[in-house]
Amino acid sequence: MENNDLIRLQKFLSMAGVCSRRHGEVYIRDGRVRVNGEVVTVLGTKVDPERDRVAVDGKPVGLREKRVYIALNKPRGYVTSCEQPGDRIVLELIDIPERVYPIGRLDKDSTGLLLLTNDGALHHRLAHPSFDHEKEYDVTVGRPIPDGALHKMGKGLPLMGTMTRPARIRRVSPSRFRITLREGRNRQIRRMVRKVGAHVATLRRLRVANIRLGSLAEGSWRFLTPEEVRGLIRGVSG
């Protein structure tokens, strides 16, 4: 049976704060990385962040012992990346000594809830397509959208070669609705809305799994409560 907790070695090195993924590939090719005492030079190698022993240049490498879980209300104009020359990145909004990583993405023009963590196993489970936790969004379109268009999006649409999964949709006003997805394709909601002849004016994420945006101010962040973290871990452990 496939272990969905396995992650690529270069991604592990990046999440551990050793280097970027690109530099991690160079380290691997140069024979500087060992896994469980054996030199690894194959870029496709995967490791279990909880069990495998990784070393770079003979020095043990691990994910942060102190695990940090953060909810951020991402403003418009920031990119969900750890490094993006010429753009403002979400990590600029968070001032803590630990290095955290965004879970999933919100495009530059979207706002709302973004989770960040240095917990590699949880990060992988939340980002992996085989784990179908819910994500809820509030969407405003440029003009009133017909019931038929909402029905089509809820039932599933052909998008990028395959059908989107069924989604829950609730109308809020003639030009505003809420949609809950169990998948996260690139710019999926914007593409779905265009598919039914409309245009997204604003898109805000309200919830990821059991974590809600609530009254968190735009541009602000907070640590998740222990109860929220437990609920999040339970929700993806199945």
Residue 1 in any domain: the answer is no
Contacts of 116 (CB under 8 A, 6+ apart): 68, 69, 70, 72, 90, 91, 94, 100, 101, 102, 103, 221
Mean pLDDT of 157-176: 95
Q: Same structural domain for residues 197 and 149?
A: yes
139/202 same-domain check:
yes
**Together in a domain, 119 and 217:** yes
Is 92 a domain residue?
Answer: yes
Residue 57 scores a pLDDT above 90: yes
CATH of the domain at 150: 3.30.70.1560
d(C-alpha 166, C-alpha 156), whole Å: 5
More confident residue, 20 or 26: 26
The parent domain of residue 86 ranges over: 69-130+210-237
Separation CA 112–CA 71 (nearest Å): 10
Of 61, 85, 103, the one marking the end of a domain is: 61
> Does 147 lie in the same domain as 41?
no
pTM of the model: 0.74
Same domain assignment for residues 144 and 85: no
With respect to residue 49, please indicate whether it lies within any of the assigned structural domains.
yes
CATH number for 221 = 3.30.70.580
User: 233 and 186, same structural domain?
Assistant: no
77 burial level (CB within 10 Å; 0-12, 13-18, 19+): exposed
The domain boundary, picked from 61, 91, 106, lies at: 61
> Is the pLDDT reported for residue 121 higher than 70?
yes
On whether residue 2 sits in a domain, the answer given is: no
pLDDT digit string, tens, across residues 22-52 = 888 999 999 999 999 999 999 989 998 878 9
- The values of phi and psi at residue 221, to 5°, are -145, 165
Q: What is the model's pLDDT at position 215?
A: 96
Are residues 35 and 142 located together in one domain of the fold? no
126 & 180 share domain: no
Active-site choice (48, 52, 107, 132): 107
Residues 108, 77, single domain; the answer is yes
Domain count along the chain? 3
Q: What integer pLDDT is reported at residue 156 of this predicted model?
A: 95
Does 80 fall in a domain? yes
Q: What pLDDT shows up at residue 81?
A: 81
The CATH number assigned to the domain holding 43 equals 3.10.290.10
Percent of the chain with pLDDT over 70: 94
165 shares a domain with 154: yes
Phi (first) and psi of residue 168, to 5 degrees:
-90, 130
Tell me if 48 is assigned to some domain. Answer: yes
pLDDT for the residue 14: 80
Is 107 a known active-site residue?
A: yes
Regarding whether 143 and 124 lie in a shared domain, the answer is: no
User: What is the rounded average pLDDT for all residues in the chain?
Assistant: 90
Residues in the chain: 238
Cα–Cα distance between 132 and 181 in angstroms, integer?
9
pLDDT at site 1: 35
Residue 186 lies in a domain: yes
Give the pLDDT confidence score for residue 4 in this predicted structure. 56
Do 109 and 50 fall into the same domain?
Answer: no
Integer Cα distance of 130 and 113 in angstroms:
21
In a domain, 41, yes or no: yes
Read off the pLDDT of residues 62-110 as tens digits, 9 standing for 90 and up: 765 578 999 999 999 999 987 778 899 999 999 988 888 898 889 999 9
